[in-house]
Chains A and B, each alone.
Chain A
């Protein structure tokens, strides 16, 4: 019957193999990133355990991220982080992308780190952070806290926070933050520079 063929095609689409990805050679990765061979091995084993096909899609990324923040909802922040990782049009990231970002952000120079931070906040990628973009990101950070905090999080917490911070970073008060303003603001504060370092991880 004429209806039957379409069904078959649809079923076939489901059966198309999930794209598998094999990462580049270990030695090459060790050269291009700031990790040692042993560290890359450890990272890859964990990566492959979570994503056997070698590619992470956004949903599993959100899932993994949420495991570290059990009280709240980390999915929105994970979404923003996911967007900072360059991925091809299939919407998945490969191990090289993952490792590249990890190397840049946790062991890169201050400039690289600040650049990544800027990319995180600049949601539409136009080179400027508006107040709304920062509000979105800050809201997602507050969502990770969940319900049981002291003082409690309500819908105005993020807004207040952004109000406080935004005008400090926006040096020329034009309503947007450029990468230079962000770099300027972070370089001035000694504590921020120190904080950037504390988030490196020992493997």
Chain B
């Protein structure tokens, strides 16, 4: 017995509290037409030699899976009276536990692919994996997918080489992946060499080599061998310019390329040379010229194309910007505080260096970073005390944020990758839960109408479909309970429209039963749909027609497969007639209006399959596994069945083009 169903007697008993205040008398209890075996039977499942036993009702908690539906009969072994599966028994243990406890766990030591295969075989969606194991499962799945994608890409990459006809594409690929061809590799090393040469030249040209003629002081090599260095510089800049232009030509998106960091570095590296060409070696502008030369050092950043590590470092600093900012800010605060105190302590000393607070900044920085150059020292006692405190606190202030930044970097880096993923998952999950809740409500409404019709038919003694006998007593009683609530409060449950995004809307039209002009005869398909379909359903539905499709959504588990199912009509159908609420209330009056159906606007056959128990710790989520067959013109409340005229013999199997919503939620 579904465990929550075991509490139904209590819920019904608690409903006695409604009796004194009920506005209408409560409907009579459902009469079980055919008592199913009161004893639940145990089933034997043999998985590759390991035997499992469980109650039948445990398995039937999830009728859209292999074990919960008729599909398991294919595996029944008549001689041994057991179900035999030639699958992995270790993983089967977890699958069976899912039926028992309602939570599917993912064992960490199992291979993800084999686990997925088992789940697919037994018709269980990976979405129902419990919260405790879900994140781990998704991470592993993502790694697997990335690995597969990388493999595929490299495969494609190898293939694509021959397919590149465009010069541009070839060049771009050569620039981005130097390992793809020898020419690219040569180019890569040549540019790297020239960057190194250029940087070295910048460094060496400032080294003194020899005395300045006619003047005191040394002569830097740059001025001694002016021509040599100039030629070297020119050569490097020509190479860099050529490289930049080639990249610009080959880039698939030129605007994006021009704005990228690397290209800006390239431009900054070569621009000083051209600007230097433009201005003559005049003393007036030589200051500016010298400044420009400083920018040549940016050429060293061109190495980041050659080094993955530099790129990662750059990304780190960018992502830790706030932490760095905090470090700088706290340092600035400390510097200002100590510099101020120091200044006021030392300002009256004769010949002091602490001439102003900004002058004291230098002392504070040097002391806090424990450098201690000694170019500025305090003389007074107060100054020395402050200086001592300053250096002690300097150690703390600097040492504290640094590990924070380091750990922040690691945390932020991983977290950013996970946060977006989790947000998307949560939104999808909430949407699914909302849809399931709405659909369970909708399921009740349509079932209720069918049940009412059945009861009325039963009271009037009319012939009913044989399928009816399989109606589960618990479902009957659950619906009876909800009807009692309706009667107590003089309200009726109506269907909610459930659009695709799962937000339930109020139905625009009143309940179909309230409008007596709604002739049932004009919508034959609806009636057939309601009565026959619902009658044919059991509390645990056996519907497995669409499981092969469930494997198709392996890429994005958040998708909900929605396929629409139209309603079918069973061969035998009582004459359509309207049944008013009043006649339903006449308990044993013989029912002058005869049999009929109440289902119109509800129309679509839907069933509340099972409500498995929630874990008591996750009080906010409801575990529900619902198969909802929505009417063909979903989401409208008016049902236009697509094929009313062709009743199919077996309502249990669904043709492929028919819509069906299959939702398993957490």
Question: Is the CB–CB distance between B25 and A191 below 8 Å?
Answer: yes
A150 touches B38 (CB 8 A): no
A interface residue numbers (CB < 8 A to B): 38, 42-43, 45-47, 49-51, 59-60, 62-71, 77-78, 80-81, 98, 101-102, 105-106, 113, 116-117, 120-121, 134, 137-138, 141-142, 144-153, 157, 161-162, 164-165, 169, 182, 185-186, 191-192, 194-203
Set of chain A residues within 8 Å of B413, measured between Cβ atoms: none
Which residues, 605 to 637 on B, are CB-close (under 8 Å) to A?
A: 611, 613-614, 616, 619, 622
- Interface residue? B190 (CB, 8 A): no
| Centre residue among B14, B21, B444, B488 by max chain A CB count within 10 A | B14
Inter-chain contact A161/B23, CB cutoff 8 Å:
yes
Give the top 10 A-B pairs by smallest Cβ distance, nearest first: A46-B6, A49-B3, A191-B25, A201-B9, A195-B26, A105-B13, A106-B13, A149-B491, A198-B29, A60-B616
Residues of A within 8 A of B14 (CB): 65, 77-78, 81, 105
Chain A residues with CB below 8 A from B3, complex form: 45-46, 49-50
Q: A117-B17, A161-B21 are in contact. Are A148 and B496 (CB under 8 A)?
A: yes
Q: From the candidates B16, B22, B482, name the one contacting A69 in the complex (CB within 8 A).
A: B482
List chain B residues, Cβ under 8 A from A201. Answer: 8-9, 12-13, 477
Residue from A63, A116, A185 in contact with B619 in the complex, judged by beta carbons closer than 8 Å: A63
For the complex formed, measure the closest distance between the CB of A107 and the CB atoms of chain B, giving whole angstroms: 9
Which residues of chain A are within 8 angstroms of B619 by Cβ–Cβ distance?
59-60, 62-63
A201 to B6, CA, bound (A): 11
Given contacts A102-B10, A201-B8, contact A137 B506 (CB under 8 A): no
CB-based contact A150/B494 at 8 Å: yes
Q: Which of B1-53 contact A (CB under 8 A)?
A: 1, 3-23, 25-29, 32, 38
Q: Does B473 contact A (CB under 8 A)?
A: yes
Select A68's contact among B11, B493, B511, B514, beta carbons within 8 Å: B11
Whole-angstrom distance between the alpha carbons of A175 and B514 in the complex?
Answer: 37
Beyond A64-B613, A149-B486, 15 additional contacts (C-beta under 8 Å) are A50-B4, A50-B613, A59-B616, A70-B444, A81-B14, A116-B17, A117-B19, A121-B20, A148-B496, A161-B21, A162-B21, A192-B19, A192-B22, A198-B28, A203-B9
Q: How far, in whole Å, are A101 and B12 apart by their CA atoms in the complex?
A: 12
Measured in the bound complex, the distance between the Cα atoms of B17 and A194 in whole Å is 14
Instruction: Show 22 A/B contacts (Cβ-Cβ < 8 Å), sorted by A.
Output: A45-B1, A46-B6, A47-B6, A60-B616, A67-B622, A68-B11, A69-B485, A78-B14, A106-B16, A117-B17, A121-B20, A141-B489, A147-B496, A150-B491, A153-B489, A157-B489, A161-B21, A182-B20, A194-B28, A198-B27, A199-B484, A202-B473
| A102–B9 CB distance below 8 A | yes
B494 touches A148 (CB 8 A): yes
Q: Report the Cα distance A151→B651, complex, angstroms.
A: 35
B523 within 8 A of A: no
- The answer to whether B18 touches A141 (Cβ under 8 A) is yes
Decide yes or no whether B440 CB sits under 8 A from chain A.
yes
The A-contacting residues of B in range 497-521, CB under 8 angstroms, are: 504, 506-507, 510-511, 514
Taking Cβ atoms with an 8 Å cutoff, the residues of B that contact A are 1, 3-23, 25-29, 32, 38, 437, 440-441, 444, 473, 477-478, 480-482, 484-486, 488-496, 504, 506-507, 510-511, 514, 611, 613-614, 616, 619, 622
Please indicate which of the listed interface residues A65, A105, A194, A197 has the most CB atoms of chain B within 10 Å of its own CB. Answer: A105
Of A145, A169, A200, the contact of B491 (CB 8 Å cutoff): A145
A194 near B21 with CB under 8 A, answer no
The distance from the CB of A121 to the nearest CB of chain B, in whole angstroms, is 7
**What is the CA–CA distance of A177 and B70 in the complex, to the nearest angstrom?**
56
Complex-state Cα separation, A165 to B619, whole angstroms: 35
* Chain A: minimal CB distance from B32 (Å): 6
Is the Cβ of A42 less than 8 Å from the Cβ of B13? no
Structural contact, B20 and A199, CB atoms closer than 8 A: no
A144 cross-chain contacts in B, Cβ below 8 A? 485
Query: Which listed residue, A65, A81, A148, A202, touches B495 by the CB 8 Å rule?
Result: A148
List the B side residues contacting A101 at CB < 8 Å: 10, 13
Q: Is the CB of B616 within 8 A of A51?
A: yes
- Contacts A102-B10, A117-B20, A161-B23 given; indicate if A199 touches B494 (C-beta within 8 A): no
Q: In the complex the two chains form, what is the Cα distance from A154 to B196 in whole Å?
A: 79
What's the Cα separation between A101 and B14 when bound, in Å?
A: 9
A69 contacts which chain B residues (CB < 8 A)?
A: 482, 485
B437 CB contacts on chain A under 8 angstroms: 70
Task: Name the distance in Å between A52's Cβ and chain B's nearest Cβ.
Answer: 9
A71 engages B441 (CB within 8 Å): yes
Chain B residue numbers with a CB within 8 Å of A161 are 21, 23, 489-490
Q: A148-B507, A157-B489 are in contact. Are A185 and B20 (CB under 8 A)?
A: yes
